């Protein structure tokens, strides 16, 4: 913990340096740009085009103007799946963020037993979403699952068959899968906080709680935003877990936008309206990410100011 | 910690990369389950896609092995997929012009969508020239292979009526007789519930399982005309009062706990619904005849010891439907991709006219507990499965109307709306009238 180089100043210097490295490093962005165009921009334009067409996924693509958009925007399935998506987004954020921060702070300290626990915590991160869902589906089966196996009536609920319970179960499984990832981010962030801050506060007589709320939380503000952005934008595209666990059911209780899109496009062969949902998803994602970025305040400030 | 900013950034980058890799890994999860994932079909042979799993896959594989052995110059390369994964994969492949030479399917509305897009070969003339092949196949199975009066697929494999299975041991234990009418079913429901046994097993999350109930309830109530009108695209065809009556009866069953607790989260792909029947947790189940083979394979000695009973769905008192009617799959179907080369198409046609109608093929399906679409199979019905095979054959050939399953008969767009609304109906999320209105909206689409 020696002196910290002020990064903001250094960034400014390299920006203002004329000629120099600018020309020679530009090509380094080329591979990323190529990938981004090939797998990001071009499919996006394709989907935008498809949203103005009528296509069953097999035959010829017919340009039909706003027909698909009109059909999609008047479909009662759209507001319903939007609502489900936001429900999942907000609930999973509310569950994941506090637990991830606490676990991150807990595992950040350099104690051996905590390092061991940290390894255990991160195991769900190594599993594929589909494997997790299949496992949970088997465990939660009301007739052959955990409850029936151990004869525990409290576990014999119809976990995935009642609308509210299915949503809660879904949030639980999503959190179980992703909390390790976000804890990892927070662990890294907490380890970056200069120890001098804690030492100084200790001298001033601050307790554990005070240190957490006055130093740790403000210092990981940007990490909270990063992690929240990943959670929020990620929950827009939740698919595998829901698809395997509930298939959007019971009825349409857990049918989020991504699932609605899949069902429209690949089950009902309505590629036009499905592409409209895809466009809506992209727009929502961009808007939400921007909003969260705004929350972080001005972009050029540093959390290290004054250290 | 001098350059703290850099290490943090690298760290975040690593973390984000891990998330991306995890997401990518999750994407590749529904791939083919078998060797030879070639898509287009190489030269000197043909490609064939079908369903994986028992009991069908080994028989399909055996047919291809026989063909490849007999025709050393040409080779058919099979790829097998899980049921639900296959339905998506084949659509995507056909849309992208990457279809296999031979496209396995269920005929009906799905086949029509391929025909409308000119993706499959018209086999009418070929069957005309090869009448011997046509004569070896049950005539009733050609209906779902025919679009606008032309044949676009070869009926293969088995005839699969949907029947009412029941667990004889459970009936004995409770001391009741198998139902002879729908009224008997209604009387049985409280008796089983009182003993803590679910009257009916149902894999509600799969949705088409619920649909089988509607198919029989409507047919027994009102006969086959109502759905024929829907199929023909007549406006408002679902508005028949018999439909409302049928939907109300179905919701009454749900309310009366006729179906096992938690049915809406059970899937048929995992065969959990069938396990409920042979483990005695449920007394009855409406399912396709293919379930017999699954219960035989998975249920220990349940089938062998005579635990499994079956019957055609019983008549409803006062109903207009002919009690001999049945629904199900009048066959499975194999089409030839119009994108395949002439040589590949010839290989496929040779496969159709030789291996798929030979005695080994017939014997293979009989052995699996299925009634082949091939004629003159009855003499093969011997051994343990003889009674079941004879009964299924009698139901299939004795039916006044053998209707194709609704979701296969209708276009994919209408079928998806149908399945969606059926799931909501069983969940009591829609009223019968809302169901009718929603379904009228997609007639003819």
- Residue A165: count of CB within 10 angstroms of its CB: 17
Shared-domain flag, residues B368 and B336? yes
The answer to whether position A128 is within a domain reads yes
The answer to whether position B381 is within a domain reads no
A252 Cβ under 8 Å from any chain B Cβ? yes
What pLDDT, on the 0 to 100 scale, is given for residue B22? 39
Collapsing DSSP states into helix, strand and coil, what is residue A190?
Answer: helix
Shared-domain flag, residues B192 and B137? no
Query: Which H or E element spans position B372?
Result: strand B371-372
Q: Count of CB contacts below 8 A, A vs B?
A: 146
| pTM for the model | 0.81
> Does residue B309 contact residue B165 with C-beta atoms inside 8 Å?
yes
Shared-domain flag, residues B133 and B213? no
The answer to whether position A21 is within a domain reads no
CATH number at residue B294: 3.40.190.10
What percent of chain B has a predicted confidence (pLDDT) above 90? Answer: 59
Mutate to test the interface with B, among A129, A153, A249 (most CBs of B within 10 A): A249
> Does residue B372 contact residue B366 with C-beta atoms inside 8 Å?
yes
- Report strand pairing: B308-311 vs B150-151: unpaired
Chain B contact set for A149 (CB, 8 A): none
d(CA B231, CA B409): 7
What pLDDT, on the 0 to 100 scale, is given for residue A303? 62
Q: How confident is the model at residue A119 (pLDDT cuts 50, 70, 90)?
A: confident
d(CA B212, CA B22): 39
> Does residue B406 contact residue B144 with C-beta atoms inside 8 Å?
no
- For the cut 70, the answer to whether the pLDDT of residue A217 exceeds it is yes
Beta-carbon separation of B18 and A181 below 8 A: yes
| Residue A133 Cα, gap to closest chain B Cα (Å) | 11
The answer to whether position A22 is within a domain reads no
d(CA B286, CA B281): 15
The answer to whether position B20 is within a domain reads no
Mutate to test the interface with A, among B31, B152, B262 (most CBs of A within 10 A): B262
The answer to whether position B83 is within a domain reads yes
Shared-domain flag, residues B297 and B367? no
Mutate to test the interface with B, among A156, A227, A251, A264 (most CBs of B within 10 A): A251
d(CA B322, CA B318): 11
The answer to whether position B11 is within a domain reads no
Shared-domain flag, residues B141 and B193? no
Residue B228 C-alpha from the chain's centroid: 20
> Which among B260, B265, B417 has CB closest to A250?
B265
Beta-carbon separation of A267 and B412 below 8 A: yes
The answer to whether position A307 is within a domain reads no
- For the cut 50, the answer to whether the pLDDT of residue B421 exceeds it is yes
B113 Cβ under 8 Å from any chain A Cβ? yes
> Which among B12, B95, B413 has CB closest to A185?
B12
The answer to whether position A25 is within a domain reads no
Chain B, window 250-279: residues with a beta carbon less than 8 angstroms from a chain A beta carbon? 260-267, 272, 275-276
Shared-domain flag, residues B80 and B171? no
The answer to whether position A162 is within a domain reads yes
d(CA A50, CA A62): 9
> What is the per-residue DSSP string for B87-122?
HHHHHHHHHTT---SEEEE--HHHHHHHHHTT-B--
> Does residue B322 contact residue B401 with C-beta atoms inside 8 Å?
yes
> Does residue B363 contact residue B380 with C-beta atoms inside 8 Å?
yes
What pLDDT, on the 0 to 100 scale, is given for residue B224? 87
The answer to whether position A83 is within a domain reads yes
Task: Locate A143 and state its tokens.
Answer: 């007739």
> Does residue B439 contact residue B246 with C-beta atoms inside 8 Å?
no
d(CA B151, CA B145): 6
Task: Locate A223 and state its tokens.
Answer: 């990490």
Chain A contact set for B5 (CB, 8 A): 5, 7
The answer to whether position B279 is within a domain reads yes
Average pLDDT over all residues of chain A: 85
How many helices, marked H, and strands, marked E, lie in chain B? 19, 14
| Chain B residue nearest residue A58, CA to CA | B95
> Does residue A181 contact residue B17 with C-beta atoms inside 8 Å?
no
Chain A contact set for B416 (CB, 8 A): 263, 267-269
Beta-carbon separation of B204 and A189 below 8 A: no
Chain B, window 404-423: residues with a beta carbon less than 8 angstroms from a chain A beta carbon? 411-413, 415-417, 420, 423
Beta-carbon separation of B265 and A249 below 8 A: yes
What pLDDT, on the 0 to 100 scale, is given for residue A123? 87
Residue among A108, A86, A77 nearest A261 (CA): A77
pLDDT digit string, tens, across residues B102-119: 999 999 988 998 998 899
Task: Locate A87 and state its tokens.
Answer: 């429900």
The answer to whether position B243 is within a domain reads yes
pLDDT digit string, tens, across residues B278-299: 999 999 999 999 899 889 888 8
B55: preceding bond cis by omega (within 30 degrees): yes
Nearest 5 degrees, angle CA A37-CA A278-CA A48?
55
Chain A contact set for B114 (CB, 8 A): 58
Task: Locate B155 and state its tokens.
Answer: 């009926």
- For the cut 50, the answer to whether the pLDDT of residue B42 exceeds it is no
Task: Locate B395 and state its tokens.
Answer: 């139901």
d(CA A281, CA A242): 17
Residue among B151, B59, B30, B38 nearest B101 (CA): B38
Beta bridge partners of B374: B137
d(CA A69, CA A273): 6
B114 Cβ under 8 Å from any chain A Cβ? yes
B111 Cβ under 8 Å from any chain A Cβ? no
> Which among B12, B91, B423 has CB closest to A251?
B423
Instruction: Label residue A109 exposed, middle or buried (CB < 10 Å: 0-12, 13-18, 19+).
Output: exposed
Integer-rounded Cα Rg, in Å, for chain B is 24
Task: Locate A79 and state its tokens.
Answer: 């507001």
Instruction: Label residue A166 exposed, middle or buried (CB < 10 Å: 0-12, 13-18, 19+).
Output: buried
A96 Cβ under 8 Å from any chain B Cβ? no
Residue among A51, A63, A89, A60 nearest A264 (CA): A51
- Residue B17: count of CB within 10 angstroms of its CB: 10
What pLDDT, on the 0 to 100 scale, is given for residue A27? 83
Beta-carbon separation of A188 and B15 below 8 A: yes
- For the cut 50, the answer to whether the pLDDT of residue B75 exceeds it is yes
The answer to whether position B27 is within a domain reads no
Query: Which H or E element spans position A165?
Result: helix A163-192
Beta-carbon separation of A263 and B420 below 8 A: yes
Query: Which H or E element spans position B336?
Result: strand B332-336
Q: How many domains does chain A have?
A: 1
Beta-carbon separation of A59 and B117 below 8 A: yes
B3 Cβ under 8 Å from any chain A Cβ? yes
Annotate B418-440 with b (16+ C-beta within 10 A) or e (fewer). bbbbbbbbbbebbebeebbebbe
Residue among A170, A172, A174 nearest A254 (CA): A170
Q: In this structure, what DSSP letter does residue A39 have?
A: I
d(CA A176, CA A96): 9
| Residue A167 Cα, gap to closest chain B Cα (Å) | 13
The answer to whether position B272 is within a domain reads yes
Backbone angles phi, psi at B282, to 5 degrees: -130, 150
Q: How confident is the model at residue A301 (pLDDT cuts 50, 70, 90)?
A: low
What pLDDT, on the 0 to 100 scale, is given for residue A238? 86
Average pLDDT over all residues of chain B: 86
> Which among B7, B113, B429 has CB closest to A269?
B113
Task: Locate A51 and state its tokens.
Answer: 């949203």
Shared-domain flag, residues B65 and B125? yes
State which residues form the domain around B416: 160-328+405-440
Shared-domain flag, residues B68 and B135? yes
Q: How confident is the model at residue A298 (pLDDT cuts 50, 70, 90)?
A: low
Q: In this structure, what DSSP letter does residue B326 have?
A: E
| Residue A102 Cα, gap to closest chain B Cα (Å) | 18
- For the cut 80, the answer to whether the pLDDT of residue B186 exceeds it is yes
- For the cut 70, the answer to whether the pLDDT of residue B69 exceeds it is yes
The answer to whether position A56 is within a domain reads no
Q: How many domains does chain B have?
A: 2
> What is the per-residue DSSP string for B183-246?
HHHHHHHHHHHHTT-EEEE--GGGSHHHHHHHHHHHHHHH-SHHHHHHHHT-TTGGG-HHHHHH
> Does residue A211 contact residue A201 with C-beta atoms inside 8 Å?
yes
Q: How confident is the model at residue B63 (pLDDT cuts 50, 70, 90)?
A: very high
Beta-carbon separation of A144 and B264 below 8 A: no
Average pLDDT over residues A123-150: 86
Chain A, window 110-169: residues with a beta carbon less than 8 angstroms from a chain B beta carbon? 125, 128-130, 137, 140-144, 158-161, 163, 166
Residue among B247, B113, B112, B210 nearest B420 (CA): B210
Shared-domain flag, residues B305 and B338? no
Shared-domain flag, residues B217 and B191? yes
Q: In this structure, what DSSP letter does residue B337 have?
A: B
Shared-domain flag, residues B229 and B285? yes
Residue among B251, B178, B188, B191 nearest B217 (CA): B251
Q: How confident is the model at residue A300 (pLDDT cuts 50, 70, 90)?
A: low
| Residue A57 Cα, gap to closest chain B Cα (Å) | 5
Nearest 5 degrees, angle CA B273-CA B275-CA B281?
90
Residue among B251, B231, B264, B249 nearest B439 (CA): B231
CATH number at residue A179: 1.10.3720.10
State which residues form the domain around A246: 63-295
A267 Cβ under 8 Å from any chain B Cβ? yes
d(CA A165, CA A163): 6
> Does residue B68 contact residue B76 with C-beta atoms inside 8 Å?
yes
Average pLDDT over residues B256-269: 90
Chain B contact set for A249 (CB, 8 A): 204-205, 264-265, 423, 427
Contacts (Cβ under 8 Å, ≥6 apart) of B42: B77
Q: How confident is the model at residue B20 (pLDDT cuts 50, 70, 90)?
A: very low
Beta-carbon separation of A161 and B29 below 8 A: no
Shared-domain flag, residues B341 and B314? no
Q: How confident is the model at residue B434 (pLDDT cuts 50, 70, 90)?
A: very high
B24 Cβ under 8 Å from any chain A Cβ? no
Q: How many residues does chain A have?
A: 307
- For the cut 80, the answer to whether the pLDDT of residue B84 exceeds it is no
């Amino acid at each position: 913990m020696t002196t910290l180089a002020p990064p903001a100043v250094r960034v400014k210097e390299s920006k203002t340096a004329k000629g120099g490295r600018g020309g020679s490093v530009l090509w380094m962005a080329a591979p990323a740009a190529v990938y981004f165009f090939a797998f990001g921009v071009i499919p996006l334009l394709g989907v935008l085009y498809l949203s103005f067409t009528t296509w069953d996924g097999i035959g010829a693509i017919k340009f039909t103007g706003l027909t698909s958009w009109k059909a999609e925007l008047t479909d009662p399935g759209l507001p319903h799946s939007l609502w489900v998506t936001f429900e999942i987004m907000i609930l999973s954020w509310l569950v994941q963020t506090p637990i991830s921060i606490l676990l991150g702070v807990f595992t950040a300290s350099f104690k051996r037993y905590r390092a061991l626990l940290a390894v255990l915590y991160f195991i769900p991160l190594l599993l594929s979403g589909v494997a997790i869902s299949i496992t949970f589906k088997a465990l939660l089966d009301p007739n052959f699952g955990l409850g029936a196996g151990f004869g525990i009536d409290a576990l014999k609920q119809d976990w995935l068959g009642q609308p509210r319970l299915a949503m809660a179960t879904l949030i639980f499984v999503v959190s179980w899968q992703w909390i390790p990832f976000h804890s990892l981010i927070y662990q890294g962030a907490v380890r970056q906080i200069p120890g001098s801050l804690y030492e100084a506060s200790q001298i001033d007589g601050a307790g554990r709680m005070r240190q957490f709320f006055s130093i740790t939380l403000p210092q990981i503000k940007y990490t909270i935003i990063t992690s929240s952005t990943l959670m929020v934008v990620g929950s827009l595209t939740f698919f595998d877990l829901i698809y395997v666990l509930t298939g959007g059911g019971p009825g349409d209780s857990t049918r989020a936008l991504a699932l609605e899109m899949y069902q429209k496009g690949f089950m009902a062969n309505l590629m036009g309206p499905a592409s409209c949902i895809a466009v809506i998803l992209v727009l929502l994602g961009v808007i939400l990410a921007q909003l969260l970025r705004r929350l972080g305040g001005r972009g050029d400030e540093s959390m290290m100011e004054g250290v | 910690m001098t350059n703290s900013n850099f290490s943090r950034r690298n760290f975040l980058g690593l973390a984000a990369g891990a998330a991306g890799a995890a997401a990518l890994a999750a994407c590749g999860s529904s791939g083919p389950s078998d060797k030879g994932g070639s898509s287009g079909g190489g030269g000197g042979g043909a490609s064939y896609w079908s369903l994986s799993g028992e009991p069908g896959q080994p028989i399909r594989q055996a047919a291809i092995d026989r063909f490849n052995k007999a025709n050393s110059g040409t080779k058919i390369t099979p790829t097998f997929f899980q049921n639900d994964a296959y339905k998506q994969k084949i659509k995507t492949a056909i849309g992208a012009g990457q279809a296999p030479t031979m496209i396995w399917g269920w005929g009906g509305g799905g086949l029509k969508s391929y025909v409308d897009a000119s993706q499959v070969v018209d086999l009418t003339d070929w069957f005309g020239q090869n009448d011997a092949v046509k004569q070896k196949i049950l005539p009733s199975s050609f209906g779902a292979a025919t679009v606008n009066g032309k044949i676009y697929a070869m009926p293969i494999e088995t005839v699969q009526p949907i029947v009412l299975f029941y667990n004889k041991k459970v009936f004995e234990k409770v001391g009741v007789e198998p139902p002879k009418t729908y009224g008997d079913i209604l009387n049985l429901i409280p008796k089983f519930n009182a003993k803590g046994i679910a009257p009916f097993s149902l894999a509600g999350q799969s949705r088409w399982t619920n649909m089988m109930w509607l198919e029989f309830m409507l047919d027994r109530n009102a006969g086959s005309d109502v759905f024929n009108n829907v199929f023909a695209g007549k406006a408002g065809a679902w508005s028949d009062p018999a439909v409302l009556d049928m939907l109300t009866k179905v919701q009454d069953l749900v309310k009366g706990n006729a179906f096992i607790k938690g049915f809406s989260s059970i899937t048929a792909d995992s065969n959990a619904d069938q396990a409920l029947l042979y483990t005695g947790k449920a007394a009855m189940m409406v399912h396709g005849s293919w379930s017999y083979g699954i219960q035989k394979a998975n249920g220990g000695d349940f089938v062998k010891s005579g635990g499994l009973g079956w019957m055609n769905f019983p008549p409803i008192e006062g109903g207009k439907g002919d009690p001999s009617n049945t629904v199900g799959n009048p066959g499975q179907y194999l089409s030839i991709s119009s994108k395949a080369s002439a040589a590949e198409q010839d290989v496929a046609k040779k496969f159709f006219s030789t291996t798929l109608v030979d005695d080994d093929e017939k014997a293979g399906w009989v052995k699996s507990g299925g009634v082949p679409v091939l004629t003159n199979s009855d003499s093969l019905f011997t051994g343990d499965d003889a009674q079941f095979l004879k009964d299924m054959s009698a139901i299939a050939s004795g039916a006044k109307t053998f209707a194709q399953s609704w979701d296969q008969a209708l276009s994919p767009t209408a079928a998806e709306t149908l399945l969606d609304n059926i799931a909501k109906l069983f969940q009591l999320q829609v009223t019968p009238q809302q169901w009718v209105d929603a379904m009228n909206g997609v007639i003819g689409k």
